[in-house]
């Protein structure tokens, strides 16, 4: 898991204001591998649908994953003919690698992708991206398992899909319904921080991204879709399922160990400006109290088991001290991770030291209770000792929660949350792109009206001019903007025009 990010939280979601800023609002990525037959009909159909229904400027990006057939030539021809189409070429396979590379280099505020077979009805595209444009949600996914979805596919794929989602719910506590549908979208400000934390470069990329986003508290919007299975799909089910299970184990292990810095992609509570102006208001008290009670109940049972075990070969005071010490260390670790949401190893020793101070207060309460009991009765029964210890522990528990919340794990959020931008400044070869400034709240550009395609071998790809006061230029190494690897340095620096001609040309 990648953890080399600067600390900071995402700002509150903002509605992207409408206007004419000259940059695409939506960038739809189509990852392809040896799709020479389906690519052109897919792009033409998608382009026609967006021109007819989408009210803002858009871009369609073809992400070629090292195809060995004529897919690159088809991509280049479409790029030359249609101003809104752009072609990307990577020399390594992997749908996740392609999406991460293109999304990291895109300047559009809303990023989406769909499979080249267009199994999902395109009427769901606008409902998919609308919550991201409005600022309501951070990610959006199409769901084939929603109640109102209409799906046509064989029983084998139906069983595999539902079984996989059951595995995600049981192992990773995922609450989204469909992780594998090739119809998703994400806000660019979220992608800049979230994508460097996603390790997979293949088919598990979607699941890992959604699990991390959900655990960090980001909002995922689900859209019921109409979906028809592609009988000519080239996905290897057994191999993909094996890799997915490996990914589930890896992500589950990272979540359990706390190695994922989820606090770096959290949103503040509430997007109303009045919420952000209120200071020193404790948040999450109810959730923390419930978590603390659950951990405290389990710790009490653990303590009583230890006390009974130690009491068999030692006195009451020694057994109480040993049982309380061991259970206090476990209690502090559990509350640190589960109740107060502190992840990673930073300040872990300090927190345990502070927890031992709290343990000392609890020890004084319970030891004092035992001393008072022994003073009142020279030989108290074992059940009486347990009853006194339970009462003393209840009092110590209340005090422990207050000390944990106010002293050991205080809420020290910055008044002005900072934005983490996963950018790179690397050596050539580079891919130059235009990126918005930090907050990215520029007006949405209206889609330019184009009456006909530019055709012919001499047609060129028209780029949009940007205001230098609103945008800056960032250099991305091909494949490295997200991967931090040097393996994909094969992206075309200039559009390569096809040498053949389109049969449709007169």
DSSP one-letter string for 118-137:
--B-GGGHHHHHHHHHHTS-
**Out of 147-151, 326-330, 447-451, 494-498, least confident range:** 494-498
- Whether 312 has a pLDDT exceeding 70, the answer reads yes
pLDDT band for position 345 (cuts 50, 70, 90): confident
Give the per-residue pLDDT at 483. 42
- Residue-level pLDDT at 441: 47
* pLDDT for position 457: 42
- Give the pLDDT confidence of 70-92 residue by residue, as tens digits: 999 999 999 999 999 999 999 88
**CB within 8 A of 131, min separation 6: which ones?**
137, 140, 221
Q: What is the pLDDT of residue 159?
A: 83
Q: Is the pLDDT confidence value at 60 over 90?
A: yes
185 pLDDT above the threshold of 90: yes
Whether pLDDT at 390 is above 50 = yes
Residue 419 is predicted with a pLDDT of 35
- Give yes or no for residue 489 having a pLDDT over 80: no
Contact assessment for residue 2 and residue 197, using Cβ atoms and an 8 Å cutoff: yes
The pLDDT, as a whole number, for residue 487 is 39
Model pLDDT, residue 112? 95
Please, which residues bridge with residue 89 across strands? 64
Torsion sign (Cα): 317, 323, 326, 328 = negative
Q: pLDDT per residue over 27-53, tens digit each?
A: 999 999 999 898 999 999 999 999 999
Cα separation of 100 and 481, whole Å? 8
At 457-467, the pLDDT tens digits run 444 433 333 34
Of 182, 189, 53, whose CA–CA distance to 111 is shortest?
189
- Residue 433 — pLDDT band, cuts 50, 70, 90? very low
Whether residue 472 is predicted with pLDDT greater than 60 in this model: the reply is no
DSSP string for residues in 204-267: THHHHHHHHHHHTT--EEEEE-EEE--TT----HHHHHHHHHHHHHHHHHHHHHT-S-GGGGPP
Range from 77-86, 305-314, 381-390 that averages highest in pLDDT: 77-86
Say which residue, 285 or 76, is predicted with more confidence: 76
Q: What is the mean pLDDT of residues 365-380?
A: 82
pLDDT in tens, 122-145: 999 999 999 999 989 999 999 988
User: What is the pTM for the complete model shown?
Assistant: 0.57
Contact 88, 101 (CB under 8 A): yes
Distance CA 275, CA 154 (A): 49
Q: Which of 258-262, 313-317, 396-400 has the highest mean pLDDT?
A: 313-317
The answer to whether the beta carbons of residues 316 and 370 sit under 8 Å apart is yes
Q: Which residue has the higher pLDDT, 291 or 305?
A: 305
446 beta partners: 56
Return mean pLDDT, the chain.
75
In the chain, the percentage of residues whose pLDDT exceeds 70 is: 73
Highest mean pLDDT among 291-300, 439-448, 475-484: 291-300
Q: pLDDT (tens digit, 9 = 90+) per residue, 250-281? A: 998 888 887 888 877 776 655 444 344 444 44
Residue 107 has pLDDT above 50, yes or no: yes
- pLDDT of amino acid 284: 65
pLDDT exceeds cutoff 60 at 386 = yes
**For the residues 189-218, what does the mean pLDDT come to?**
90
Distance, CA of 156 to CA of 184 (rounded, Å):
23
pLDDT at residue number 497: 37
Helix (H) or strand (E) holding 301: helix 285-311
Task: Please give the distance of CA 220 from its chain centroid, rounded to a whole number.
Answer: 9
Find where tokens 């929603």 sit. Answer: 146
pLDDT at residue 327 tops 60: yes
> Above 60 in pLDDT, residue 481?
no
pLDDT band of residue 368 (cuts 50, 70, 90) is confident
- For residue 442, pLDDT over 80 is answered with no
Report which DSSP code applies to 478. Answer: T
User: HSE-up of 283 (CA within 13 Å, CB side)?
Assistant: 13
Supply the pLDDT for residue 9: 66
Q: Which residues pair with 224 in a beta bridge?
A: 143
- CA of 450: how far to CAs of 44, 51, 374, 459, in Å? 14, 9, 91, 15
């Amino acid at each position: 898991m990648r953890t080399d990010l600067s600390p900071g939280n995402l700002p509150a979601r903002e509605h992207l204001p409408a206007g004419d800023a000259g940059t695409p609002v939506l960038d739809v990525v189509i990852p392809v591998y040896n799709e020479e037959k389906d690519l052109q009909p897919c792009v033409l159909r998608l382009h026609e649908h967006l021109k007819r229904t989408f009210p803002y400027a858009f871009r369609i990006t073809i992400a070629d994953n090292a195809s060995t057939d004529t897919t690159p030539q088809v991509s280049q021809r479409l790029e030359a003919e249609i101003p809104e189409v752009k072609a990307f070429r990577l020399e390594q396979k992997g749908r996740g690698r392609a999406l991460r590379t293109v999304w990291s280099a895109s300047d559009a505020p809303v990023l989406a992708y769909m499979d080249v077979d267009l199994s999902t009805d395109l009427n769901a595209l606008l409902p998919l991206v609308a919550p991201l444009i409005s600022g309501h949600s951070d990610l959006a996914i199409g769901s084939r398992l929603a109640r109102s979805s209409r799906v046509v596919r064989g029983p084998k794929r139906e069983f595999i899909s539902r079984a996989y989602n059951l595995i995600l719910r049981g192992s990773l506590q995922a609450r989204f319904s469909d992780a594998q549908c090739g119809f998703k979208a994400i806000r660019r400000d979220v992608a800049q921080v979230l994508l460097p934390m996603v390790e997979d470069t293949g088919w598990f990329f979607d699941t890992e991204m959604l699990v991390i986003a959900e655990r960090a508290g980001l909002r995922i919007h689900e859209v019921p879709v109409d979906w028809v299975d592609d009988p000519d799909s080239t996905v290897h089910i057994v191999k993909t399922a094996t890799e997915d299970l490996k990914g589930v184990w890896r992500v589950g292990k990272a979540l359990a160990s706390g190695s994922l810095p989820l606090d770096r992609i959290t949103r503040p509570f509430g997007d109303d400006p009045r919420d952000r102006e209120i200071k020193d208001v404790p948040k999450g008290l109810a959730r923390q109290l419930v978590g603390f009670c659950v951990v405290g109940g389990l710790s009490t049972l653990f303590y009583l088991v230890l006390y009974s075990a130690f009491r068999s070969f030692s006195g009451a005071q020694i057994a109480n001290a040993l049982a309380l010490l061991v259970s206090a260390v476990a209690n502090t670790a559990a509350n640190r991770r589960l109740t107060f949401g502190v992840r990673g190893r930073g300040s872990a020793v300090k927190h345990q030291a502070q927890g031992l101070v709290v343990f000392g207060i609890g020890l004084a309460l319970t030891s004092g209770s035992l001393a008072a009991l022994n003073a009142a009765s020279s030989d108290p029964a074992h059940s009486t000792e347990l009853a006194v210890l339970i009462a003393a522990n209840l009092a110590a528990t209340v005090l422990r929660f207050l000390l944990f919340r106010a002293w050991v794990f205080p809420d020290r959020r910055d008044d002005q949350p900072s934005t983490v931008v996963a950018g790179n400044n690397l050596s050539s070869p580079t891919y130059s792109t235009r990126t918005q400034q930090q907050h990215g709240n520029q007006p949405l550009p209206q889609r330019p009206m184009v009456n006909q395609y530019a055709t012919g071998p001499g047609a060129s790809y028209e780029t949009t001019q940007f205001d230098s006061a609103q945008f800056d230029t960032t250099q991305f190494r091909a494949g490295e903007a997200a991967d931090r690897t040097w393996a994909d340095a094969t992206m075309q620096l200039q559009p390569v025009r096809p040498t053949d001609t389109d049969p449709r040309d007169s």
